[in-house]
Each structure stands twice: as structure tokens, then as C-alpha cells.
Structure 1
Amino acid sequence: MRCYWDEEDVWFYFEVDAEGWVTRQIELEGPELTPIAAASLAEWQQASDTGRLDEYDSRFGITAELPVSEWEGHDPEQLTSDEFDEVWHSAHQQMATRQNPGRPT
């Protein structure tokens, strides 16, 4: 699914599991749709297990910490997994190769 937050001009893309937990999350900012997050729960857990969590967080961000069933005030647009994957691969690759990791200020 995806949602738009107009206060910050950010598109949020979410892949969720059967229980409603976010497994992958993308955030695209501004009219250029600049990736500011492209986080995977599985990658985050692996980084945590290997002691590289700070590095992962600063480069890719984190996924939402609550299941979608507990969210308020969003109006999601459903996406196919192919639509999500297309955005994911582009955003994640851009963030992986970014010279200065971390969220822009």
C-alpha cells in the first residue's frame, strides 16, 4: 500500500505481512520523489544480529513499529506486489549507493 503525507510532501510505501506488520517500507520526499528511507525488517534484524544496526538505520531508515491495524488517520492506496517491488528496487539501490548515508536534513 502507499499513503501520502502532505504536511511533509512524502509518499510512504508499505509491504505488510499477514498480521499487519510492516516488512518493507519506502519513503519518497518532494516532487523529485527522493528516497529518504528504504528499510527492510529482515535486513534490519540481520544488522541487529551482526552489530551493524546504527549503520543500517543511518543508511536505510527503519520500518514502522506498530502493525497497520493500530494506525490512525491514513487512507492507503492498495498496490500490487509488482508495483511495490518496482519502487523498492529503485529506492533501495539509490540509498545503498548514496555517498553520505542517512536522512537528508
Structure 2
Amino acid sequence: MEVIRRFVKVKDHQINIILPSDFNADEVEVIILPTSKEYQIPQWQIDEVRERTENYLKNLESATNFDDNTLSDFDKELLDFRANQPKEDFITADETLKRLRKKYGI
């Protein structure tokens, strides 16, 4: 699944979104949310995400202890698809952890 996130200005109660030329879909789902200027994530939710991230980074081994029943058929198909994509399209797990640590100051 390809996801595109854009922040666009509303003018006369309308928005205009131009999709990349390589985005091939006949129908899309649009979810409209006000930007952070109008909507704030509750502090309890921010705290919960930070706590979970810290726990994950402190105990990485626990993140890999799941069996095939944990994943839905869709998840398995998506993983199979992604596994066959060029490696250049991805960053390593170490790079992901490095970015998370930097972002959350861990």
C-alpha cells in the first residue's frame, strides 16, 4: 500500500491535491484532519507512545518473539511483497533504531 501525506491549504472550503505521476489508483480514501495548529495530541497519548518506544528499545529481543498466528493473511502477503522489493528502497533496522533513539532522546 502506498501512502501519501500532504499538508494543504483550505481555500473557500475546498482543497486541491495533485498526485505523483507514478501513483496508480482508480480510487483513494481521503481522511481530512486539521493540522496541529487546530488539533493537539493529548499528553497522555504522547506519554504512552514514548513509554512504549523506550520499553521497545530497551528490550529489542521481545519484539521478535511472535509466531505466524500473530500476522493476518494480508500482513503476510504485504511482507512477502515487500521482501521482494529492491533493498535500496529500505533503511536497515539499525538505522531505524538510530533514528528512533535520536527522535526520542533515548
Common fold by TM > 0.5: no
TM-score, normalized by length of structure 1?
0.25
TM-score, normalized by length of structure 2?
0.25
Higher strand share: 1
Tell me which structure has the larger Cα radius of gyration.
Answer: 2
